[in-house]
Chain A
Amino acid sequence: MLPFCFEWVYDMGHFVFHGGLWYALSIIGMGMTYCVIKSVIDTIKGGKGNHLH
């Protein structure tokens, strides 16, 4: 999973595969981080907001 694991090989398969994994993880991670941070800011800014879903 990480380049320091001994199974790690620098080849196309590993790039594509782990690339995909880290890409997905990053989107999920960054997306959530964005949401949390934005919500904190929104909360600090105050106001309940009046969103309708």
Chain B
Amino acid sequence: MKQEHTQHRSKRYGMVIDLDKCTGCGACMVACFSENNVPFKKDETDKRLSITWMKVYRIDNGRDFPNNQVCYIPRPCQHCAGQHEGHSPCVSVCPATATDYSRETGIVSQIYTRCFGCRYCMGACPYHARYFNWWDPVWPEGMEKYLSPNVSPRMRGVVEKCSFCFHRYQLARDKAYANRRKDVKEADYQTACTQACPAGAITFGDLNNPGHAVHQIVKPNDHVVKNKAGISIIGKSQNPNVFRMLERLGTNTKVYYLSSREWVRKAGDNYIADEKPEDMFAEQKKH
């Protein structure tokens, strides 16, 4: 176990995606590709070989015409905290410490030059948020000109994933230092997908900061609660329309989703037979 930091309020960057507003337009995906120098191939139709840090899933309620309903779910890396901060599914399994959990920001990082491509993290991630570079990244001649110097292109044989545009955090922090501010301003650090989303469906910020919009929407519980299976749930939202994906597994993600539709909220997790989401916390224990 790593040492517990005693810093009073560390940041927990996270986002909430309003699925009512999300239209599945794909701008977040492309904003991410272009911000993070994500490579592409001539054929990107095999989605299991297609690197999309941000991926928009299309789900439906499973009913036939004309009662079919559809919802889009953008899925960046969920930046799981795990059962205790830092015990993300992927971070805990990486043998070479190539992916790490930052206690300062709550961001799960990936060091491409450290990764040796064992892909254990991919097996560990139930969100399929991690992607392997099966090929050398190749840009058509001349196109490498648009590559951003803020993010290094990855070589073949390593795993990559969404970093919550960590380089933007670094730039914002530099800016804060330059302006002799202690804290990074909410507006100074926004991910590329948040910024691009034409529907304004993504809200990003520090979940620990009550001044940030994301905190106000999510209303995360300050206390760790245990669900009925005894799994610790950190930052459980107190907004009834907010849910997280696979919250039951105890991944304790920092990407929240907002939906007014019940079937959508229920699709965030798995339930057996007649279970209901609200049954999960029949007896809440405060820690």
Contact B3 A11 (CB under 8 A): yes
User: Within A1-53, which residues are at the interface with B (CB < 8 Å)?
Assistant: 7, 9, 11-13
Determine the main DSSP class of A at the interface with B.
loop
User: Within B1-56, which residues are at the interface with A (CB < 8 Å)?
Assistant: 1-3
Contact A9 B3 (CB under 8 A): yes
Contact A11 B1 (CB under 8 A): yes
Does any Cβ of A come within 8 Å of B97's Cβ? yes
Chain B interface residue count, Cβ-Cβ cutoff 8 angstroms: 4
Alpha-carbon distance between A5 and B254 when the two chains are bound, in angstroms: 30
Shortest CB distance A12–B (Å): 8
- A7 partner residues in chain B, CB cutoff 8 A: 97
- B3 partner residues in chain A, CB cutoff 8 A: 9, 11
Alpha-carbon distance between A12 and B2 when the two chains are bound, in angstroms: 10
- B2 partner residues in chain A, CB cutoff 8 A: 9, 11
Contact B1 A13 (CB under 8 A): yes
- B1 partner residues in chain A, CB cutoff 8 A: 11-13
Among A7, A12, A13, residue most surrounded by chain B Cβ atoms (within 10 Å): A7
Nearest 8 A/B pairs, CB to CB = A7-B97, A9-B2, A13-B1, A11-B1, A9-B3, A11-B3, A11-B2, A12-B1
Q: List 8 A-B contacts (CB under 8 A).
A: A7-B97, A9-B2, A9-B3, A11-B1, A11-B2, A11-B3, A12-B1, A13-B1
- In the complex, besides A9-B2, A11-B2, 6 extra interface pairs with C-beta distance below 8 angstroms are A7-B97, A9-B3, A11-B1, A11-B3, A12-B1, A13-B1
